[in-house]
Amino acid sequence: MATRSMKLPRHPKPRTGARPAPAQGQPSPDTRARILNTAFQLFHEQGYHATGIATILREAGVHPGSMYHFFPSKDALLVGVLEHALELLRPAVMDPAERRTGDPIGRVFELLEQYREGMHAWGCKMGCPIGNLALEVADDNAVARNLVHRNFENWSLAVQKWLDEAGGRLPRGTDRAQLSRFVLTVMEGGIMQARAAGNLAPFDDSVAQLRAYFDALEKLAKSEQERRKARK
Amino acid sequence: MATRSMKLPRHPKPRTGARPAPAQGQPSPDTRARILNTAFQLFHEQGYHATGIATILREAGVHPGSMYHFFPSKDALLVGVLEHALELLRPAVMDPAERRTGDPIGRVFELLEQYREGMHAWGCKMGCPIGNLALEVADDNAVARNLVHRNFENWSLAVQKWLDEAGGRLPRGTDRAQLSRFVLTVMEGGIMQARAAGNLAPFDDSVAQLRAYFDALEKLAKSEQERRKARK
DNA sequence: CCTCCTCTTGAGCGATCAGTCAACTCATAT
DNA sequence: ATATGAGTTGACTGATCGCTCAAGAGGAGG
């Protein structure tokens, strides 16, 4: 039973003000990407709930209907942003850290140094875009929560790969997956405290402790190896 | 030049619906506390921006004018909540951990265990109320940011006191202030990942790594002491 | 009794919120 | 040439946002 005649024109006025026709209706192929980039940036700067759709639209130069064509809701936009972040993670975060040094354990701390530089550049504001969303939306959007989780997983998986490459420099039996997650823990916890403090000291302190932990692990691995050598 | 006659009655109607006079106008001395408790809980459950004033008022059974009598703005309410949290921290968090064990280093891990139990009870939701606010409001409310910072400081200061009590069990020259902040780092980072994962594994992993670090430190301190003893 | 003063009441404000929709453009397919 | 459908336009909606304020309640001090 189709409800015909339900829809009647809501804009019966033909067009009162003549307008210079600013390139109407032509699809710009990067609209979706522009929305995604703008939303990602604004969510990072202001948080999810504090960012209104109107702001995203203004900054991206997009009209509401256009955005809702690609993302049927604000939550869907959030999901899109997190998927976008998932794709961005390797080229924008892990690859630069790898380019800094070939030393596998060195890469872990270059990665942290990268975040430090980001924090410094923004005056200890904003922090980690994924971490922020983790705490803000994890409870009420299951899909988004899972995507945050996958972002974290990919992050620590990349770190784990470096740890695996470090081979004998870590003690035998080291749970490298657990250790890689621990690196993420230290990064996020350090950034949180640095934001609250308004300076990088808590972050630097956290990294220093992690460094001490790694030094202890490497030392332990060394003495392990020497003991093995001596037994021969 | 006083603008007299500016104000005219906005509610000229005397009272249309007779109502059973539910104790009107009488000041209940705990109104402020009720607002604070309700707001603290709602900010914890939903976040700051996601919580509307109307919800706080409804849950606390308070009228807007009453709330704005004590807190002139939502931001001021946030500041009040964070001051409230500052007072709550010792009796509600640190004291219970101290009651669990007398062992100073054991207390550190009992504290973490407490947070673990909280997370478990809430199904890995909500997380740390202060940590959540740290990431959500640190950038745009300087007073709130500083109060978050002071909450963190008090937390790690209490941990530091325990570490100081541990005395010789930690290596000489250990930066106990830095180490205490590192414990907070691990707690917050672990909780963040547990929320994203929807289970406690990442938190447990983080604590396990911290435990390994402490074990290494204690072992180092022991060998230090034995070396000193042998030199005698 | 009256005057303060703190606190409460609750309708109401303008602004903004996320979201809607009929009309439109235009490249492509037929 | 016509039809199709993806993408765009922008005025619009109802709900909710944080917040206001004149009026009143009731205790304290005179």
pLDDT digits (tens, 9 = 90+) for B96-116: 999 999 999 999 999 999 999
pLDDT of residue B3: 30
Q: Is A15 inside any structural domain?
A: no
* Nucleotide whose C1' lies closest to the alpha carbon of residue A66: D8
Rg of chain B over Cα atoms, rounded to whole angstroms, equals 24
pLDDT of residue A146: 98
pLDDT of residue B52: 98
pLDDT of residue B51: 98
pLDDT of residue B18: 27
Nearest to A49 among B50, B146, B188 (CB): B50
Helices B129-137, B31-46: inter-axial angle, 10-degree rounding = 80
How confident is the prediction for chain B on average, in pLDDT? 89
- Report the first-to-last Cα separation within chain A, whole angstroms: 87
Share of chain B above pLDDT 70, in %: 87
Q: Is A125 inside any structural domain?
A: yes
Range A49-74 average pLDDT: 98
- The count of structural domains within chain A is 1
B185 and A189 Cβ atoms separated by less than 8 Å: yes
* Integer Cα distance of A34 and A212 in angstroms: 43
- Cβ–Cβ gap B197/A125 under 8 Å: no
Q: Which CATH number fits the domain that encloses residue B202?
A: 1.10.357.10
Tell whether ipTM is more than 0.85: yes
Share of chain B above pLDDT 90, in %: 83
Q: Which two tokens stand for residue B189?
A: 């980072």
Residues from chain B contacting residue A184 (CB–CB below 8 Å): 189, 193
Q: Please tell me which residue, B224 or B125, carries the higher pLDDT value.
A: B125
pLDDT of residue A18: 29
Q: Is A37 inside any structural domain?
A: no
Query: CB atoms < 10 A from the CB of B115, how many?
Result: 20
Using the predicted structure, report yes or no on whether residue B75 has a pLDDT greater than 60.
yes
Which residue has the closest alpha carbon to C22 C1'? A9
Query: CB atoms < 10 A from the CB of B114, how many?
Result: 16
- Is B61 within 7 A of strand D by CB distance? no
Q: Is A20 inside any structural domain?
A: no
pLDDT of residue B231: 66
Q: Is A116 inside any structural domain?
A: yes
pLDDT digits (tens, 9 = 90+) for B132-153: 999 999 999 999 999 999 999 9
Chain A 193-212, residues with CB within 8 Å of chain B CB atoms = 193, 195-198, 202, 205-206, 208-210, 212
pLDDT band at B19 (very low <50, low <70, confident <90, very high): very low
* Integer Cα distance of A112 and B151 in angstroms: 25
* Integer Cα distance of A107 and A109 in angstroms: 5
Closest among B74, B85, B201 to B134, alpha carbons compared: B85
SS3 B115: helix
Region of B170 on the Ramachandran plot (φ > 0 left; ψ -120 to 50 alpha; else beta): beta
B35 and B70 Cβ atoms separated by less than 8 Å: yes
Question: Considering only A130-139, B14-23, B76-85, B185-194, which range has the smallest mean pLDDT?
Answer: B14-23
Q: Is A50 inside any structural domain?
A: no
Q: Is A165 inside any structural domain?
A: yes
Mutation target among A82, A119, A122, A139 for the B interface, most CBs of B within 10 A: A139
* Integer Cα distance of B197 and B192 in angstroms: 9
Mutation target among A186, A192, A210 for the B interface, most CBs of B within 10 A: A192
Question: Considering only B17-26, B91-100, B122-131, B177-186, which range has the smallest mean pLDDT?
Answer: B17-26
- Is A146 within 7 A of strand D by CB distance? no
pLDDT band at B224 (very low <50, low <70, confident <90, very high): confident
Using the predicted structure, report yes or no on whether residue A161 has a pLDDT greater than 60.
yes
Q: Please tell me which residue, B157 or B228, carries the higher pLDDT value.
A: B157
- Residues in CB range of B151: below 8 A, 6 or more apart: B82, B85, B86, B89, B130
Domain membership of residue A210 as a residue range: 75-224
Q: Is B75 inside any structural domain?
A: no
